Amino acid sequence: MQPDYVVVGAGSAGCAVACRLVEGGSTVALLEAGPKDTNWRIHVPAALRPLLKDPSVNWNYQAEPVASSAGRSISLPRGMVLGGSSSINGMLYVRGNAADYDGWAQRGCIGWSYDDVLPLFQKSETYKQGGDATYRGGNGPLQVEDYRTILPLTHTFVKAAQQAGFPLTPDYNGDLQEGVGYSQMTRRGRFRGSTAQTYLRAMRDNPKLQILTGAKAGPLIFEDRKCIGITYRQGGQNKEIRPGREVVLCGGAYNSPQLLQISGIGPAAHLQSIGVAVRHDLPGVGSNLADHFGARLKHRVRGTTMNQLSRFPHVVPEIAKFFLFGNGALTFGVTSAIVFCRSREGLASPDLQLSFTPATPVDMGQGDLEKEPGIQVTAIPVRAESRGTVMARTGNPDDAPSISPNYLGDENDANVLVSGVEITRRILEQPAMAAVSLGEYMPGPEVTSRDEIMQFTRETGGTIHHPVGTCKMGDDPASVVDPRLKVHGLEGLRVADASIMPTLTTGNTNAPTIMIGEKCAAMILEDQSTA
């Protein structure tokens, strides 16, 4: 079968693109480098942590060491499996702030204002708690719901944030984001609600959708300036597929620019330096990399945390709760409450996210949990101004790209992060938390000055796993795609994933990435109907 469209990457955006195109009557081939999502850990929310280092479902990228993050090579996990990173993420559903999308529109991204994208968020979700129908959806494939089981320490944190002056926000995906609120998650019942288990699951028997797993994408195929197909490797064999209409890249902020570059599309000087023939000099490919970078504060506490519940014998009744009732500790994600706030007066919208977790991982959120009861709050500058790059090392798709996020390279990001640590400390000093805290041990009470805090963040901070921007949307010379997500100067080729974001959104990026997939499919079908 020659499909109408080839979608490369079955992640958060790719699944949405493919399924909506099929709904619209098109035939689609969906290529995924990784396997089917059969690993049981993918589906049990609290079993996430080993997946962040598991090479069977994870690209396991590493950042280039830079001085601004103390010369460390920081781990950069990305999903390589049906569902992509939505199969290995913390399941948080955060749309962002209306100002994010209005800012995109002001940058020349016509059709991407908040009023433009809100209907697509609504179309994508079914919010179990209902919410305000002005903002929330009730008939979409994504099942979004509040936490099923909330530990008392989460309530304590929310109370402390209110004592510190932050109002309770019942729904941060509704009319108001700022304040403190309980986390929302993407689920399928008690299980993880990845895009593979929501969008794809609904289309699994549709003959118009062909899903190719273990299909590692190679260079794109061109006739003059028109993309007519893509090469890939599957089962040890080199293959190609040529759609009747378009190729849509949905590989994410690391893989999409690499794929363009090995196909001869990108900064000419760099392509020549790695021995790739220049097909189209497009300087912005691989630049403008932005990511959320956070610093973690930890307290020993009195009370029940995931540190205890994840271990024998406490885990035994939690397993029973999960399978018998669909609740308990195994349904937990990574963050149970969030504060969106401003680092200083005079800002138009929040520039900080403070994420509360009733657990303390041993290292950077990816390792085992500590044995003693503890809580963690991660301070995150959400409007990061630091910019890095993703550059192919060679023309071989099997060679991982060079990723230089340049974390805290912009001094403003570092200052906002320090302010985030100070605000977090103020919350944790309130009476509600003081009643259960046994004291801060990371960074510790000896770290007090802004210079000391800044050094702490550079030496211990890490990615929040939200890379965006490397195929930036816009109409300026540094942009890669136009507002209809077509690659500038080429035909038959679009990019639809987090790489097209001109700037980071205020919060976790999975929901906005799914929205991008929804919008891409809608624009393709619109173009198709008027052709």
Q: What is the pLDDT of residues 9-66, one digit of tens each?
A: 999 999 999 999 999 999 999 999 999 999 999 999 999 999 999 999 999 999 999 9
Count of residues for the chain?
531
Q: What ranges make up the beta strands (E) of 405-461?
A: 437-442
Is residue 280 part of the annotated active site? The answer reads no
Confidence band for 295, pLDDT divided at 50, 70 and 90? very high
Q: What is the DSSP string of 86-108?
A: GGTS--B-----HHHHHHHHHTT
| Cα angle for residues 515, 357, 97 (degrees, 5° grid) | 30
The answer to whether residue 423 scores a pLDDT higher than 70 is: yes
The answer to whether residue 216 scores a pLDDT higher than 90 is: yes
State the average pLDDT over residues 368-397.
Answer: 97
186, amino acid identity: T
The answer to whether residue 469 scores a pLDDT higher than 80 is: yes
pLDDT at position 364: 65
Confidence band for 365, pLDDT divided at 50, 70 and 90? low
pLDDT at position 267: 98
Q: Are strands 265-266 and 246-249 parallel, antiparallel or unpaired?
A: unpaired
| Average per-residue pLDDT for the chain | 97
Confidence band for 367, pLDDT divided at 50, 70 and 90? low
Catalytic, out of 280, 299, 466, 488: 466
- Cβ(376)–Cβ(363) under 8 Å? no
CATH number of 1-143+186-290+466-531: 3.50.50.60
Residues with Cβ within 8 Å of 193's Cβ and at least 6 positions away in sequence, in order, are 91, 142, 143, 144, 185, 186, 187
pLDDT at position 1: 74
CATH 3.30.410.40 residue ranges in the chain? 148-182+293-381+408-460
Alpha-carbon torsion angle 522, 526, 527, 528, nearest 10: 100
Q: Which residues pair with 221 in a beta bridge?
A: 229
Compute the distance between CA of residue 376 and CA of residue 11 in angstroms, rounded to an integer. 29
Compute the distance between CA of residue 443 and CA of residue 421 in angstroms, rounded to an integer. 10
CATH number of 148-182+293-381+408-460: 3.30.410.40
State the average pLDDT over residues 368-393.
Answer: 97
Q: Which residues pair with 442 in a beta bridge?
A: 298
pLDDT at position 204: 84
CATH 3.50.50.60 residue ranges in the chain? 1-143+186-290+466-531
Confidence band for 368, pLDDT divided at 50, 70 and 90? confident
Structure tokens at 226: 């028109």
The answer to whether residue 486 scores a pLDDT higher than 80 is: yes
pLDDT tens-digit readout, 139-150: 999 999 999 999
State the average pLDDT over residues 312-337.
Answer: 95
Compute the distance between CA of residue 189 and CA of residue 331 in angstroms, rounded to an integer. 10
pLDDT tens-digit readout, 61-103: 999 999 999 999 999 999 999 999 999 999 999 999 999 999 9
Comparison of pLDDT for 368 and 20, the residue scoring more:
20
Whether the model pTM is above 0.85: yes
Compute the distance between CA of residue 128 and CA of residue 526 in angstroms, rounded to an integer. 30
- Cβ(225)–Cβ(450) under 8 Å? no
Residues with Cβ within 8 Å of 178's Cβ and at least 6 positions away in sequence, in order, are 167, 169, 340, 341, 342, 349, 350
The answer to whether residue 356 scores a pLDDT higher than 90 is: yes
